[in-house]
Amino acid sequence: MVDQVGKERFLDALTHLGGSAGNVRLRETLQWEEEAYAAVKNALVESGAILTGRGRGGSVLLASGGTVEVQERQASAPKPTKAKAAKANGNTGGDLGFEADLFKAADKLRGNLEPSEYKHVALGLIFLKYISEAFEAQHARLEAEDYADPEDPEEYLAANVFWVPPEARWAHLQANAKRPEITFVDVTTGREKKGDIGGLIDNAMEAIEQANIKVLKDVLPKNYSRPQLDKTMLGELIDLFSNVDMRGDHGQARDRLGRAYEYFISQFAGAEGRRGGEFYTPRSVVQTIVEMLEPTQGRVYDPCCGSGGMFVQSERFIESHQGRRSDIAIYGQERNHTTWRLCRMNLAVRGIDADIRWNNEGSFLRDEFAQTKFDFIMANPPFNISDWWQPQLESDARWTHGTPPQGNANFAWLQHIIHHLAPRGTAGVVLANGSMSSQQSGEGEIRKALIEADHVDCMVALPGQLFYSTQIPACLWFLARDKSANGLRDRRGEILFIDARKLGHLVDRTRREFSGEDIALIADTYHCWRGKPDAVVAAGLEPYADEPGFCRSATLDEVRGNGHVLTPGRYVGAADVEDDGVSFEERFGALRAKLAEQFDAGLALEKLIKAKFAGVGSNA
């Protein structure tokens, strides 16, 4: 029999995670065995305290929504009958634990340093801490083995752990963090030199790169010794990271440091505003794309990968659904070298093996994967960029649906992505709303060609304020090379429209975010539409049905009738108004009586004001 204490622990942990969580993640948070977790979960489901979600790994949701705020959002959001229960894989930024506290403490040390500069200082040290934590854990394991050599780099390579030379280990940096002058051997020259903690960190970064040159060549920041950087601040930052247990109860350094790294990236993106949005896509937007595409097997690609958020969420999706990381291969390209380094470090902290390439020309002019096709493509290209065109692109093979306008790259990105889709490939792309309806410079003709070729699978209208880089509303394009069955429902000649503009909640005065329930609502709607009825029912969902004001499946003829405009609001219509049982005559009579009262009150107020003014005149 399940005891009350176990139930309370379960509910407390679920509440702390924002009211909803994947079963794998919640069980790891509780640190319970699978059998004990299942017993408590089943008892709470039976009592009605929690609901279960769909998916291979499954998820659970507080029946009360966890908080008043969650309940209010649930009450105001559209609820299609198909969304039998909400799900949430990972968090969307709302379930902050030690990461938020760590960032607040680190940010206090920033002083007058700009976020764009401090970002690399803090993230580089988090990466260094991770490298050292993972190394020390493997070092301890090797010491416990009879015939292993803890100082043999090959022992670490075999365990997929970075080799960390003695001069780069965190304990060495911590021991020297507050010393004004340090003598050390320069790993580049082999000569002894004097410097400060900044020089010691640079030397450690260089040592790690040299020891792991195939993976980390030119990746790590090495400018900590510059005079403008406050060395006292560096020492305090090392102390801060040293005093936080990033390994967790079971030595889970990779997960905790990965969460810290990802959270720091998001906070720096927010602090940098428009420039920050260039390297970071809000996590809830990424989760929406990942949940809809479900990249579980095959090649995953992002042609403008930024700091790698799409890849991190893909890996997290696989883990939460009890899949294997090795089932997907990750490829990406990034034009900004600094952002490319952030991405490489982000993936390394997560232990994600990926082929991420950089060149300063970008995916249009120098496509690093020109001959490669991908099963899943996810991208958040910069909106409406105007300086992308070069004459050599005029007759490019990618422009099969029309040459994109030189002043806007939106339809260049879409065609680049379609060009790279495998025969059964699917893609999710974030673009500005104008891409759905613009007729300028031939964009309308290209959009028409994409629709007539039946590459457009689903369109999602997003609310405003989701992005750091812009306040304008955006949309999600979901593309498919082939929409025929292939284990799913044959949806050729149809497009699903979802209007999600009423979803989301404000996390601060300027930025909105999707909750786990919002993401589940959108993703489940798409999967119910795309999946075969028996598979939908087996997943615990209800068959797809149009819902006025939220979703509608439209034919190509209907889209043609709307001039090939893809704005969801044109198709989903207005939400049904609930009938409260009051007749029109009764309601009209009440409104007329109320209006008469307001007229009478207005006349009385007018007489009073005139009387007051008359008194003022006579007293004068």
**pLDDT over threshold 70, residue 255:** no
Please determine, for residue 249, whether its predicted confidence score (pLDDT) is greater than 50: no
pLDDT grade for 38, boundaries at 50, 70 and 90:
confident
Q: What is the pLDDT of residue 64?
A: 46
Helices marked H in 321-459: 337-350, 362-365, 410-419, 443-452
Q: What is the mean pLDDT of residues 313-328?
A: 83
Provide φ and ψ at 280, rounded to 5°: -140, 130
CA 291 to chain centre: 11
Q: Check residues 461 and 609 and name the one with the higher pLDDT.
A: 461
Sign of CA dihedral 423, 545, 464, 505: negative
Which percentage of the chain shows pLDDT scores above 90? 46
User: From the DSSP assignment, how many helices (H) and strands (E) are in the chain?
Assistant: 23, 16
Residue pLDDT, tens place only, 298-318: 999 999 998 888 998 898 888
Using left for φ > 0, alpha for ψ between -120 and 50, and beta otherwise, residue 504 falls in left
> CA angle 246-250-252, nearest 5°?
45
> If pLDDT is split at 50, 70 and 90, which confidence band does 293 have?
very high
Q: Which residue has the higher pLDDT, 418 or 583?
A: 418
pLDDT greater than 60 at residue 71: no
What pLDDT is recorded for position 170? Answer: 94
Among 114-123, 224-233, 448-457, the range with the most confident prediction by mean pLDDT is 448-457
Residue with more model confidence, 442 or 612: 442
Q: Give the 3-state DSSP-derived string for 458-497, with helices as H, strands as E and coil as C.
A: EEEECCCCCCCCCCCCEEEEEEECCCCCCCCCCCCCEEEE
C-alpha pair distances (Å), 262 with each of 81, 154, 442: 35, 30, 39
- Structure-model confidence comparison of residues 412 and 136, the more confident one: 412
Mean pLDDT of 267-282: 68
Mean pLDDT of 33-51: 82
* Residue 240 burial (CB count, 10 A): 16
Q: Give the pLDDT score at 93.
A: 44
User: What's the pLDDT score for residue 60?
Assistant: 76
Q: Which of 243-252, 409-418, 439-448 has the lowest mean pLDDT?
A: 243-252
Span 521-549, mean pLDDT? Answer: 92
Residue 77 has pLDDT above 60, yes or no: no
Read off the pLDDT band of 243 (50, 70, 90): confident
Alpha helices (H) in 388-456, listed in sequence order: 410-419, 443-452
Give the DSSP H/E element, type plus range, for residue 555.
strand 551-555
Per-residue model confidence as pLDDT tens digits over 414-447: 999 999 999 999 999 999 999 999 999 999 999 9
In this predicted structure, the answer to whether residue 82 has a pLDDT above a threshold of 60 is: no
For residue 273, the model assigns a pLDDT of 59
Q: What is the mean pLDDT of residues 335-342?
A: 89
609 or 28, which is more confident = 609
Provide the sign of the torsion angle of the four alpha carbons 25, 30, 33, 34, taken in this order. negative
List Cα–Cα distances, 410 to 364, 381, 406, 477, 533, in angstroms: 12, 8, 10, 11, 35
Residue 67 — very low, low, confident or very high, per pLDDT cuts 50/70/90? very low
Cβ atoms within 10 Å, residue 205: 24
Max CA distance (Å), the chain: 110
CA distances in angstroms from 444 to 62, 434, 447, listed in the order given: 45, 10, 5
DSSP line for 178-217: T-S-EEEE-TTT--EEEE-HHHHHHHHHHHHHHHTHHHHT
| pLDDT tops 70 at residue 527 | yes
Q: Are 553 and 495 in contact (CB under 8 A)?
A: yes
pLDDT of residue 534: 86
Strand-by-strand arrangement of the 20-22 sheet: 20-22, 59-62, 50-52
Lowest mean pLDDT among 137-151, 201-215, 261-275: 261-275
Q: Is pLDDT of 220 > 90?
A: yes
Q: Which of 83-97, 275-289, 421-435 has the lowest mean pLDDT?
A: 83-97
The model's confidence at residue 469, banded by pLDDT at 50, 70 and 90, is: low
104-113, 303-312, 584-593, 594-603: range with lowest mean pLDDT: 584-593
Return the minimum-mean-pLDDT range out of 102-111, 208-217, 266-275, 474-483.
Answer: 266-275
Look up residue 126 and give its two tokens: 């988090």
Which residue carries 């379960």 as its tokens? 10
88: three-class secondary structure by DSSP: coil
- How does the average pLDDT of the chain come out, rounded? 84
Residue 252 has pLDDT above 60, yes or no: no
Region 535-557: mean pLDDT is: 93
For residue 253, pLDDT over 70 is answered with no
Q: Is 411 helix (H, G, I), strand (E, B) or coil?
A: helix
Q: Residues 89, 92, 98, 103: what is their CA dihedral angle, to the nearest 10 degrees?
A: 150
Task: Label residue 68 by pLDDT band (50, 70, 90).
Answer: very low
Residue 596: band (very low, low, confident or very high) from pLDDT cuts 50, 70, 90: confident
Q: According to the model, what pLDDT value does residue 56 have?
A: 36
Specify whether the CB–CB gap between 309 and 276 falls below 8 A: no
pLDDT, tens digit, 9 for 90 and up, residues 159-197: 888 999 999 999 999 999 999 999 999 999 999 999 999
Q: What is the percent of the chain where pLDDT is above 70?
A: 85
Residue 226 pLDDT: 92
In tens, the pLDDT along 348-368 reads 877 788 999 999 999 999 999
Q: What is the DSSP string of 221-263?
A: ---TT-TTS-HHHHHHHHHHHHTS--STTTT-HHHHHHHHHHH
Question: Residue 23's pLDDT is what?
Answer: 74
